[in-house]
């Protein structure tokens, strides 16, 4: 066995990178206790709780609808793991497992796309793509990004397998994956659109009746799965979000995006679309040290060749994969810009919406892997690197001009929405224009470093030098995790202590009400509801109606924000209070 591994360096590298993924997961696991982002993470656990018959509806109504695809994975975790901290950590481990499977799939994908590439290089390139710093960041929380990153690689792999050998089994898996990625997060609808176009094109242009029938089967299955998903969605909205306002529900749903589409048709909308696109293009370049640019260049080259192949009627089935890659990337980019269409408006104060990365993050690892291949093959590596440095400098200058001309100056930044550019962010006295130039300098330095590593690998043919890029990405990924996950969890642990204290003071019969007065701040009560599992928390929304203390019943347990304006009132009505984290618990013995 050991002898075979020594002979097969690719297998050794693959095992080592999988172990590295495991170590990265374990590094921060004991420092994670619950949610880092509110209300998003709770919004994915809430449908899972509903599937188990638990009533979290009132707490859920404080946030928007976040779809249910990820909840199908979280529900079994919630059922089998009774402690909320352990359930959350189990979900993090599942994210790590998906990362490892994504690594293997991407390696297989690279082998199929580039059979001439050495296996060792293909493994390390796949490792670099999968250990992209935002992926390292997202595996440590229960946002959908870790799942989306995996699913996009899976969809790409299934598409290539389908074009190579269009079997019914592959057709069913592909159609299910295309629909599932949409119901994990609705902003990935571009995958269905791009996949549908390619399958139509492949079916119409195919002379074999069998292939046409399979193309029809895939499209039919996509429609059936989609309708089933819509039925589940509508059922969840009726049962879980019945107390939420229409505006809150529509915030993440496509039904709430029509206003943006109408605005897009106006002159101001077109201007914002163009300027917003520049911000996202800048992010793609700096977050990937230019590697995604190389990948886009290669995809465009292959699609250009595909165009000439169509004209000459000499078309390989595998060539359509590159068209899918282009269409899905463009679709996702456009959706991101439309979702954040007002981000370059002069009244927007959030830089992270303008230079936004989260919504396009899941297409990037595939582009990185292809980009490294293109950079290795390029005879003008340093010319290309210089052009990318120059282009990103121009984009940075344009973005800074837009920020400078805005009313707000965009001083507000949520760095976890632009993780690939967040490494130099200091929230205190944040100044966006100097920050962006520093981010450009860091990105340019990393572009040059990547160029040096690739040059050395080509000159000395030492593949393991590429692991320097993996090491660099781990440092960046853990830096972002420290900033946004670990520190936040140390504060959030106090909210878990509130839930544990609540369990102590509750009667065994479960008849007492648990009430939270919500005043419009961050809904940290979601951490408590997650911990309480099948015990419902009632929400009194102070934004919608006046709070009347006389409506409290004997035995009611009350939770307020630690800085609530109602604390002085309830200090007189309750004998005891217990404060921890962001919340305060009131109860009578």
How far is C-alpha 55 from the chain's CA centre? 27
What per-residue confidence (pLDDT) applies to 153?
Answer: 97
What per-residue confidence (pLDDT) applies to 554?
Answer: 85
Q: Comparing 33-47, 327-341, 453-467, which segment has the lowest mean pLDDT? A: 453-467
- Listed in sequence order, the DSSP H helices in 346-466 are 351-354, 364-377, 381-405, 432-460
Is pLDDT at 7 greater than 60 in this prediction? no
What per-residue confidence (pLDDT) applies to 550?
Answer: 86
Is pLDDT at 316 greater than 70 in this prediction? no
Q: How confident is the model at residue 383 (pLDDT cuts 50, 70, 90)?
A: very high
Q: Phi, psi (5° rounding) for residue 105?
A: -65, -40
Q: Record the tokens describing residue 556, joined without a space.
A: 């009611």
What per-residue confidence (pLDDT) applies to 243?
Answer: 62
Rounded alpha-carbon distances, angstroms, from residue 101 to 95, 181, 220, 252, 481: 10, 16, 28, 29, 22
Handedness of CA 222, 225, 231, 237 (dihedral sign): negative
What per-residue confidence (pLDDT) applies to 315?
Answer: 60
Residue 367 contacts residue 411 (beta carbons within 8 Å): no
d(CA 434, CA 404): 11
Of residues 558, 524, 526, the one with CA closest to residue 540: 558
d(CA 454, CA 572): 69
Is pLDDT at 311 greater than 90 in this prediction? no
Average pLDDT value for residue range 479-499: 91
Percent of the chain whose predicted confidence (pLDDT) is above 70: 94
What per-residue confidence (pLDDT) applies to 488?
Answer: 85
The residue to which tokens 């690279």 are assigned: 110
pLDDT in tens, 150-205: 999 999 999 999 988 888 899 999 999 999 999 999 888 889 999 988 888 887 77
Rama region for 314: left / alpha / beta (φ>0; ψ in -120 to 50; rest): beta
Residue 69 contacts residue 51 (beta carbons within 8 Å): no
| CB-facing half-sphere around the CA of 134: CA atoms within 13 A | 32
What per-residue confidence (pLDDT) applies to 253?
Answer: 62
More confident residue, 326 or 546: 326
Residue 133 contacts residue 473 (beta carbons within 8 Å): yes
d(CA 383, CA 149): 31
What per-residue confidence (pLDDT) applies to 313?
Answer: 59
pLDDT in tens, 269-284: 899 999 999 999 999 9
| CB-facing half-sphere around the CA of 269: CA atoms within 13 A | 11
What per-residue confidence (pLDDT) applies to 480?
Answer: 94
Rounded alpha-carbon distances, angstroms, from residue 291 to 92, 449, 451: 28, 12, 10
pLDDT in tens, 527-566: 999 999 989 999 999 988 888 888 988 889 999 999 999 9
d(CA 121, CA 13): 10
3 state SS of 150? helix
Residue 254 contacts residue 189 (beta carbons within 8 Å): yes
What per-residue confidence (pLDDT) applies to 88?
Answer: 97
pLDDT in tens, 58-68: 998 888 888 88
d(CA 6, CA 34): 42
Cβ neighbours of residue 588 under 8 Å, at least 6 residues apart? 554, 555, 574, 575, 576
What per-residue confidence (pLDDT) applies to 512?
Answer: 87
d(CA 128, CA 554): 59
How far is C-alpha 7 from the chain's CA centre? 38
Rounded alpha-carbon distances, angstroms, from residue 172 to 3, 179, 183, 210, 314: 40, 11, 17, 15, 28
pLDDT in tens, 408-431: 889 999 998 999 999 999 988 899
What per-residue confidence (pLDDT) applies to 561?
Answer: 94
What per-residue confidence (pLDDT) applies to 509?
Answer: 64
Q: Record the tokens describing residue 195, joined without a space.
A: 């996949």
What per-residue confidence (pLDDT) applies to 519?
Answer: 92
Residue 436 contacts residue 465 (beta carbons within 8 Å): no
- What integer best gives the mean pLDDT of the chain? 90
d(CA 258, CA 256): 6
Write the DSSP assignment of 54-65 as a string of letters.
Answer: ---HHHHTTS--
What per-residue confidence (pLDDT) applies to 563?
Answer: 92
What per-residue confidence (pLDDT) applies to 532?
Answer: 93
Residue 405 contacts residue 341 (beta carbons within 8 Å): no
Rounded alpha-carbon distances, angstroms, from residue 57 to 120, 140, 344, 482, 540: 51, 26, 35, 32, 13
């Amino acid at each position: 066995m050991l002898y075979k591994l020594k002979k097969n360096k690719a297998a050794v590298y693959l095992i080592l990178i999988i172990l590295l993924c495991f170590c990265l997961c374990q590094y921060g696991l004991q420092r994670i206790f619950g949610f880092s982002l509110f209300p998003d993470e709770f919004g994915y656990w809430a449908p899972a709780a509903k599937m188990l018959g638990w009533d979290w509806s009132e707490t859920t109504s404080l946030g928007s609808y976040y779809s249910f695809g990820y909840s199908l994975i979280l529900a079994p975790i919630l059922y089998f793991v009774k402690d909320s901290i352990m359930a959350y950590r189990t979900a993090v481990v599942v994210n790590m497992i998906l990362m490892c499977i994504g690594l293997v799939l991407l390696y297989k994908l690279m082998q199929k796309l580039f059979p001439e590439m050495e296996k060792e290089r293909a493994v390390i390139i796949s490792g670099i793509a999968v250990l992209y710093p935002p992926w390292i960041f997202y595996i440590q929380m229960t946002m959908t990004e870790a799942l989306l990153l995996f699913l996009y690689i899976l969809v790409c792999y299934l598409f290539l397998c389908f074009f190579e050998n269009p079997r019914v089994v592959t057709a069913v898996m592909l159609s299910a994956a295309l629909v599932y990625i949409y119901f994990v997060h609705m902003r990935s609808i571009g995958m269905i659109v791009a996949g549908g176009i390619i399958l139509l094109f492949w079916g119409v242009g195919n002379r074999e009746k069998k292939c046409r029938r399979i193309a029809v089967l895939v499209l039919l299955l996509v429609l059936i799965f989609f309708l089933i998903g819509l039925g589940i969605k509508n059922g969840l909205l009726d049962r879980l979000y019945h107390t939420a306002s229409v505006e809150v529900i529509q915030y993440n749903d496509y039904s709430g995006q029509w206003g943006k589409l109408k605005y897009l048709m106006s002159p101001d909308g077109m201007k914002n679309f163009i300027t917003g696109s520049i911000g996202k293009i800048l992010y793609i370049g700096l977050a990937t040290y230019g590697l995604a640019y190389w990948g886009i260049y290669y995809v465009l080259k292959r699609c250009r060749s595909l165009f000439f192949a169509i004209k000459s009627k000499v078309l390989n089935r595998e060539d359509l994969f590159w068209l899918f890659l282009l269409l899905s990337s463009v679709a996702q980019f456009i959706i991101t810009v439309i979702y954040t269409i007002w981000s370059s408006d002069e009244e927007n104060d959030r830089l992270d919406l303008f230079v936004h990365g989260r919504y396009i993050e899941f297409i990037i690892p595939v582009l990185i892997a292809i980009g490294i291949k293109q950079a290795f093959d390029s005879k003008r590596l340093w010319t290309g690197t210089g052009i990318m440095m120059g282009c990103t400098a121009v984009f940075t200058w344009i973005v800074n001009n837009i920020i400078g001309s805005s009313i707000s100056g965009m001083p507000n930044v949520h760095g976890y929405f632009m993780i690939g550019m967040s490494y130099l962010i200091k929230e205190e006295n944040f100044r966006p224009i100097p920050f962006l130039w520093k981010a450009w300098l860091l990105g340019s330095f990393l572009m040059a470093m990547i160029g040096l590593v690739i040059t050395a690998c080509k000159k000395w043919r030492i593949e393991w030098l590429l692991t320097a890029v993996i090491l660099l990405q781990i440092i960046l990924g853990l830096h972002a995790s420290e900033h946004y996950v670990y520190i936040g969890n140390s504060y959030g642990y106090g909210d878990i202590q509130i839930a544990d204290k609540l369990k102590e003071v509750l009667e065994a019969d479960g008849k007492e009400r648990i009430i939270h007065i919500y005043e419009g701040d961050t809904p940290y009560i979601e951490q408590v509801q997650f911990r309480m599992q099948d015990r419902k928390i009632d929400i009194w929304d102070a934004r919608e109606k006046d709070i009347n203390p006389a409506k409290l019943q004997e035995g009611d347990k009350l939770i307020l924000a630690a800085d609530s304006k109602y604390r002085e009132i309830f200090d007189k009505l309750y004998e005891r209070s217990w404060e921890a984290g962001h919340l305060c618990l009131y109860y009578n013995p």
